[in-house]
Chains A and B, each alone.
Chain A
Amino acid sequence: NAGVTQTPKFQVLKTGQSMTLQCAQDMNHEYMSWYRQDPGMGLRLIHYSVGAGITDQGEVPNGYNVSRSTTEDFPLRLLSAAPSQTSVYFCASSYSKAGGYYGYTFGSGTRLTVV
Chain B
Amino acid sequence: AQKITQTQPGMFVQEKEAVTLDCTYDTSDQSYGLFWYKQPSSGEMIFLIYQGSYDEQNATEGRYSLNFQKARKSANLVISASQLGDSAMYFCAMSLVAYYGGSQGNLIFGKGTKLSVKP
Residues of A within 8 A of B (CB): 31, 33, 35, 40-45, 48, 50, 58, 88, 90, 92, 94, 96, 98-102, 104-106, 108-109, 111
Contact = CB atoms under 8 A, between A and B. Distances in A.
Contacts, number: 72
Interface of B: 4, 31, 33, 35, 37, 43-45, 47, 50, 52, 91, 93, 95, 97-112
A1 to B, nearest CB: 13
A108 B105 contact: no
B111 A42 contact: yes
Closest 5 pairs (CB-CB, A-B)? A100-B97, A101-B105, A106-B45, A42-B109, A31-B105
B112 A104 contact: no
B43 A109 contact: yes
Contact of B103 (A58, A88, A92, A99): A99
Contacts of B104: 101
B45 A90 contact: yes
A50 B111 CA distance: 25
A3 B74 CA distance: 31
Contacts of A88: 43
Nearest to A98: B99
Contacts of A108: 43-44
